[in-house]
Amino acid sequence: EYMFVLSKGRPNSWNPIRIPCLTAGTKRNRGGSKSSEDSYSERKRVERTVVNSEKQATNIFYFDVGKNDKTIHNAPFPDQLAHDHIISWSNEGDTVFDPFLGSGTTGVAATELGRNFIGIEKVEKYFQLASDRIHSHND
| Whether pLDDT at 69 is above 70 | no
Query: How far is residue 29's CA from residue 46's CA, in Å, rounded to a whole number?
Result: 7
DSSP bridge partners of 121: none
State the average pLDDT over residues 14-30: 81
Contact 111, 79 (CB under 8 A): no
DSSP 35-84: S-TT-TT-----EEEE--SEEEPPS-----SS-SPP-S-S-PPPHHHHHH
Contact 94, 109 (CB under 8 A): no
What is the pLDDT, as a whole number, of residue 2? 75
Choice between 77 and 65, residue whose per-residue pLDDT is larger? 77
Exposed, middle or buried: residue 33 (CB in 10 Å: 0-12, 13-18, 19+)? exposed
Ranking 64-73, 88-97, 103-112 by mean pLDDT, the lowest is 64-73
- Confidence at 119, pLDDT banded by 50, 70, 90: very high
What is the pLDDT, as a whole number, of residue 41? 57
What is the pLDDT, as a whole number, of residue 127? 92
What is the pLDDT, as a whole number, of residue 43? 55
- Give the chain's radius of gyration (CA, Å): 22
DSSP bridge partners of 106: none
DSSP bridge partners of 20: 54
Give tens-digit pLDDT for 35-53.
555 555 555 556 777 888 8
What is the pLDDT, as a whole number, of residue 99? 92
- Confidence at 32, pLDDT banded by 50, 70, 90: low
